[in-house]
Chains A and B, each alone.
Chain A
Amino acid sequence: MSPELIGVLGTVAVIVLFFLKIPIGISLIIVGLLGTTLIRDWSVAFAQLGRTPFDTSSDYSLSVIPMFILMGMVLSYTGMGQDLYRAVDRWIGHFRGGLAMATIGSSAIFSSISGSLNATTATVAKIALPEMEKYRYKPGISTGSVAAGGTLGILIPPSVILILYGILTMEPIGELLISGIIPGILQILFFIITIAILVRRDPFIAPPRERKASLSERFYALNKTWPFIGLFLVSIGGIYLGVFTPTEAAGVGAFGALAFALLSRKIDWQKLKGSFNEAVRLTAFILLIVIGANLFGQFLAISRIPVQLTSYVGNLELNPYIILVLILAVLFILGCFIESLALMVITLPIVYPIITELGFDGLWFGVIMIMVVNIGALTPPLGISVYVIKGVAPDVPLNTIFRGVVPMIIAMIACVVVLIIFPQLVTILPDLMN
């Protein structure tokens, strides 16, 4: 068998193992091990099997992950999510559909300290869903806005997936994180506009509220959001100004969150233990996948597929934008079936060289790719956000949740299109950094 053929079969095998419920990281390791044995030798494969997992797990730039996660966990365990939601509600809750908009807004702020989609979705779902139910919002719009807001968790920095993109492609992590800011804000606007349109078309899905909060009430509530904003400014601002490396920003951010939680007595021993416990578990599950991804990526590299495919696509006489759209369409379809992290790690070694060969900006593509795989988090059969929401609101039928996110998906696609037409929106902030 030629190495290329082994590479193709290996890629198929990974997907088969995924569907056999073998954990994603384990599937990737199995195929990496067997594939390398076939192309090279078993002694080579076992040397890699020991070295790569250890090297990956002691990689300085990856060590930002547990610390950013810890920062998010500590603040969500302090119960500050509630205050945050109230505060945003005071400001925009009186518009028609205002609670749904407040859900997007508080997701956005929570995202600024959370690196993960699941953490953002779960936290905001727990707070916002009961509130919207109280005001008799239709389940479609309430769950739809929570699911949409959750996707901001990995677009607005910090974002674990953007960090991984940097690791896998060697794009600079600090600049990647910064490049998510404007697209994140744009996405927020698109979601809010979508809600406004939905409410205009069918006012009954979101009954109006009776009264506007006074200005003093508003500012009083706003005061509660400062730890989020403060930590965001310190960690991401520090990266932007070049004061910190991303790892240092994460460490200082986690320390700041801990210090705030302890000093304000918003966290007790149990909650403190809980946030550490959850942070290391999330890290373990993400890193098992990354370890698998690296082993699988090394196997793909020696199969020569990425090199061959890159030169093949490079020689196609097609408009680069057509190839880009084709790649995004494939990612979109795969994203419906494969968990977004796993999707990124198996496709990036192949896709990234092609994209850069076509002359597209690697940072820009990172943001675009994350927005596309994000959509997969909202679609059946594997829409992870939808299942998280289902976990929080067991009474709402899955179908209703899936239908509720359709307009949000359209908003996300629209946002991707805008960013393809105006790539400067992604690249201007990282460019200004230098």
Chain B
Amino acid sequence: MSEKILVIAETKEGEIRNVSFEAIAAAKKIKPDGEVVGLVCSNDDLENLAQELIYYGADRAITVKNDNLKSYTSEAFGQAVLAVVEQESPDGIIMGHTSIGKDLSPKLASKLDSGLISDTIDIEIGGDQAVFIRPIYSGKAFEKKVITSGTPFITIRPNNIAALDRDDSRSGNISNVDVAIKDLRTIVKEVVRKASEGVDLSEAKVIVAGGRGVKSADGFKPLYELAEVLGAAVGASRGACDADYCDYSLQIGQTGKVVTPDLYIAVGISGAIQHLAGMSNSKVIVAINKDPEANIFNIADYGIVGDLFEVIPMLIEEFKNVAVS
């Protein structure tokens, strides 16, 4: 009997998030011969989104459309997903380790009496058993974990398990499940957009981050310009947030976001250990700092010792030149 894995997809601004496609690839990795069922919940029309899940490797897709699914709340989404889980009885569940994934997965796992392995960055298949690798101790070590009882449930960290190539010749069944969502005690009244230009830190391929060396809120302006040229997200060290140069929502580090972009450009960041905890697993790290002794140079792949207010404008020009050529 082939096993079935449910992938709980997530939407952002009307599109499926990339991490959901990565979750489909993860499901395929765990059960290459299994059936992958994608699930998408929203208040909007979902046919096209469900179709995307199939193009990215799902065998079929389920949609739950309900007015109460406009904004995510653990109560409404919990009810929607549990109804589908009840109907499908999957042998495993995967979703992204995103704001929603972190919030929803423990509730579902608790309800299902399941073990949950969060923030998986890699999967190894040893014999019959899937082994999940995840960072611990602020990214300074890794653990290998297995599920010993209950429905296996994992969340995957964005940007670590590659999604399959989109293949629009794929087809699969799309069905809708009606769920009565009721007894909601928590409502989202408003969403205040603070994240800049829609590039989300946790999924960003490129991040430009500033530290105390940026010196002021105004000092962040060139960083935003550089980010725009690169299609990057802007982040910050705790020092910069504490000094009010930018909002806490941008903080990367031990008490902040953990990111693993392809390219991390640390600008005026000394490289305190708390900051490294949030970004040291980035694939390529560039450091720009006036102080040649700054700790950040110890973990950077490439470093420039110099005044960031001179270097950044030059970088912006150079990246523009390269983009044109």
Partners in one complex: no
Residues of B whose CB lies within 8 Å of any CB of A are none
